[in-house]
Chains A and B, each alone.
Chain A
């Protein structure tokens, strides 16, 4: 135990009395009833959470050994390496179709299944949302380059916007939601639909439609929540909704996610 026990050690030369013996036991009784605090725990530099053993095995390498008094468990999902948001070709990006409902992916960085002990868990997803063509091709002035039309990836209409959230065991965690999808509650602008109808794209229309939820070509999104999880296996996923399915224009700019991370920090009780 972390506190001093016994409080009053009884030396062989001590005069026997029942009071110090009672005190020794009462220290255990009272402290287990709620009188321990942070001062009862050892503290050393550079640590946030204390524990007895190391995370790695005694050989210093994997597999990790779980100490009995571990304070936290951190579950982490991401694809090996990274997917650069600056990539011209969109290498390694994940495509999300224009669906007017929450879409998920059972892939690293988007999904995490683990067995939890139950209790408070901070779950967090952090990813980069793209709504532009992978090629990042520009429609040239005049529309002709070397005698041929160039397929422009630039899209004037990004759709309504996106709702992003965390999904736990198939249910959206409401407090993690970013965006609302409510035109009366968002900076949403209704206007003439504008399509990227190559090889002769329309000129951009003023008062375009868009501005709801998460909106823009490149957007770093964070969704998180602190929830109570029951003991047992749970699946946590990042969920993305293309509100109104890109305003019904499925040929509009595609949606991609480049870097994506998902983690769950469980406080072990």
Chain B
């Protein structure tokens, strides 16, 4: 991009100035891909996904990541759950995000957790799965994770200011103990265990990873709150307060229960939840 300097003696007229203005505008508008490749309008000029610089850590709520419990393979730091519970990972917006100005097109949610082991919850305590009881785990015992969206809206049956946690079905993932490849030298439990899906020993080895990547659109939230409607303008009445994760271990099978006499429990160590609100041209395929 060149510029013709005004010099001493240059005729100082509107034409001279206008020529330079037009030349500058034309030069900017005609930057080609080669110029971009050589540094004109570099990546600093593009919108940023991870927020602006200059904000103190924690003071910026657009891109939020939250985790609990350190991961250490030798540590027993973990959280136990039975039934349906909330994991202690939450993304909370100090000021609920309003869709009224259509600023947000979607939330990208990233969740990871490590399931250390599966347990049996009975009489208020957790017990290791007992191989002597012919418990069949792998195909029938699993834990389900669901992304939870905390919203508030104006005209709900509960009145303005109420809130609701939406558990969106498309975000659900499940993980089993993963004893598929478990093998031991001494099958001490005897033949009673030698049935498909049985565990061979107490579950101290699962350490299964659960990962979810999901998109949550205003449409998903509207249809969860107002039913199957295409009136997306209803999103103007809804504000997102935050996100969380629901954990639910369960035994699923048909026929007599031969898995456990108590209820399913699970120990979760490290988990991490990250939510990225984005402005983007959203194109949904297949609906």
Q: Are B136 and A33 touching (Cβ within 8 A)?
A: no
Q: Are A33 and B142 touching (Cβ within 8 A)?
A: no
Residue of B nearest to A127 (CB): B173
Residue of A nearest to B28 (CB): A32
Q: Are B46 and A60 touching (Cβ within 8 A)?
A: no
Bitwise, B230-257 to A at CB < 8 A (1) or not (0) is 1111001000000000000010111110
B174, B176, B255: the one within 8 Å of A140 (CB): B255
Q: Are B231 and A215 touching (Cβ within 8 A)?
A: no
* Closest CB in chain B relative to A113 CB, distance in Å: 7
Indicate if A206 sits at the interface (CB-CB under 8 A): yes
**B72-80, B100-108, B153-161: which lies at the A interface?**
B100-108
A156, A215, A259: the one within 8 Å of B197 (CB): A156
In the bound assembly, the distance between CA atoms of A81 and B170 in angstroms comes to 6
Q: Are B48 and A38 touching (Cβ within 8 A)?
A: yes
Bitwise, A61-89 to B at CB < 8 A (1) or not (0) is 11010110011111111111110111010
| Residues on the B chain within 8 Å of A221, using CB | 211
Indicate if A51 sits at the interface (CB-CB under 8 A): yes
Q: Are B280 and A265 touching (Cβ within 8 A)?
A: yes
Indicate if A250 sits at the interface (CB-CB under 8 A): no
Q: Are A136 and B1 touching (Cβ within 8 A)?
A: no
In the bound assembly, the distance between CA atoms of A120 and B45 in angstroms comes to 15
| Residues on the A chain within 8 Å of B213, using CB | 124-126, 222, 224, 261, 263
Q: Are A152 and B280 touching (Cβ within 8 A)?
A: no
Q: Are B142 and A79 touching (Cβ within 8 A)?
A: no
Indicate if B276 sits at the interface (CB-CB under 8 A): yes
B50, B184, B256, B280: the one within 8 Å of A145 (CB): B256
Indicate if B128 sits at the interface (CB-CB under 8 A): no
| Residues on the A chain within 8 Å of B105, using CB | 55, 74
Indicate whether A261 sits within 8 Å of B180 (C-beta atoms), given known contacts A64-B281, A114-B285, A138-B258. Answer: no
In the bound assembly, the distance between CA atoms of A136 and B250 in angstroms comes to 13
| Residues on the B chain within 8 Å of A171, using CB | none
A29, A215, A259: the one within 8 Å of B180 (CB): A215
Q: Are B52 and A43 touching (Cβ within 8 A)?
A: yes
B21, B142, B284: the one within 8 Å of A76 (CB): B284
In the bound assembly, the distance between CA atoms of A204 and B199 in angstroms comes to 11
| Residues on the A chain within 8 Å of B5, using CB | 22
Indicate if A227 sits at the interface (CB-CB under 8 A): no
Indicate if B67 sits at the interface (CB-CB under 8 A): no
Indicate if A181 sits at the interface (CB-CB under 8 A): no
* Closest CB in chain B relative to A15 CB, distance in Å: 13
* Closest CB in chain B relative to A135 CB, distance in Å: 6
**A95-103, A184-192, A240-248: which lies at the B interface?**
A184-192
Q: Are A60 and B233 touching (Cβ within 8 A)?
A: yes
Indicate if A14 sits at the interface (CB-CB under 8 A): no
Bitwise, A118-132 to B at CB < 8 A (1) or not (0) is 000000111010011
Q: Are B170 and A126 touching (Cβ within 8 A)?
A: no
Indicate whether A189 sits within 8 Å of B183 (C-beta atoms), given known contacts A46-B277, A74-B106, A222-B211. Answer: yes
Residue of B nearest to A190 (CB): B183
Q: Are B254 and A137 touching (Cβ within 8 A)?
A: yes
In the bound assembly, the distance between CA atoms of A160 and B175 in angstroms comes to 18
In the bound assembly, the distance between CA atoms of A208 and B184 in angstroms comes to 10
State which residues 120-178 of B face A: CB under 8 Å: 134, 136, 138-140, 142, 144-145, 168-178
Q: Are A41 and B47 touching (Cβ within 8 A)?
A: yes
Indicate if B68 sits at the interface (CB-CB under 8 A): no
Indicate if B85 sits at the interface (CB-CB under 8 A): no
Indicate if B51 sits at the interface (CB-CB under 8 A): yes
State which residues 6-23 of A face B: CB under 8 Å: 16, 18, 21-22
A78, A135, A150: the one within 8 Å of B286 (CB): A78
Q: Are A16 and B12 touching (Cβ within 8 A)?
A: yes
Q: Are A71 and B280 touching (Cβ within 8 A)?
A: yes
| Residues on the B chain within 8 Å of A128, using CB | 172-174
| Residues on the B chain within 8 Å of A66, using CB | 281
* Closest CB in chain B relative to A32 CB, distance in Å: 5
Indicate whether A126 sits within 8 Å of B255 (C-beta atoms), given known contacts A46-B277, A55-B105, A204-B196. Answer: no
Q: Are A135 and B254 touching (Cβ within 8 A)?
A: yes
B139, B196, B281: the one within 8 Å of A55 (CB): B281
Residue of B nearest to A109 (CB): B286
State which residues 39-88 of B face A: CB under 8 Å: 39-42, 44-54, 61-63
Q: Please name 18 pairs of A and B residues whose Cβ atoms are closer than 8 Å in the assembled complex, sorted by A.
A: A32-B31, A37-B44, A54-B101, A55-B279, A73-B280, A74-B283, A84-B169, A112-B285, A132-B138, A137-B255, A145-B256, A154-B197, A155-B196, A196-B196, A204-B195, A204-B198, A208-B183, A216-B178
Cβ-closest 4 pairs across A and B: A108-B286, A211-B181, A82-B169, A71-B47
